[in-house]
Amino acid sequence: MARKYDSKCPVARTLNVIGDRWAILVLRDLFLQGPRRFQDFEQSLKGITPGVLSKRLKEFEAHGVIEGRLYAEHPPRHEYRLTEKGRELRPVLGAMKSWGERYG
C-alpha cells in the first residue's frame, strides 16, 4: 500500500487501491476467469514477479476487494475471488476496455 494520493479526492482514493498496471490486470483476470489461484495469475500475467503478485493480492484483501480461501494446508494455498466491493469495479474496467478498443 505504498501508493498514497490526495485522500480528499475520490479519484485519488480509488488510485490508492487500483492505481497500477498489475492491480488492474489482476482484476481483469478475476472478472474474465472467476476465482483464481496464485499460479493461474502467474501464468496469465507474463512478467509479474511472485513478490509483486503476492503484494497486490494482499493489498486487495486488505482493502476488501478480494477474499482468499484456503484450499490446501500443506503448503498453504489460496484461491482468490472478488468480493461485492470488488465486483463494483466492473464498470471501471469496462470503461477502460471500451476506451482501449477505441483508442488503444
Q: Quick check: 98 pLDDT over 90?
A: yes
Sole residue written with cell 500475467: 45
Sorted by where each begins, the domain ranges of the chain are 10-103
Q: Give the pLDDT of residue 3.
A: 63
Q: Which residues contact 16 (CB under 8 A, 6 or more apart)?
A: 1, 3, 4, 5, 7
The CATH label, of 3.50.50.60, 3.30.1490.190, 1.10.10.10, 2.40.50.100, for the domain at 10-103 is 1.10.10.10
- Report yes or no: 13 and 7 within 8 Å, Cβ to Cβ: yes
CA of 61: how far to CAs of 15, 26, 38, 78, in Å? 16, 12, 14, 12
Query: Which pLDDT tens digit goes with each residue over 46-92?
Result: 999 999 999 999 999 999 999 999 988 788 889 999 999 999 999 99
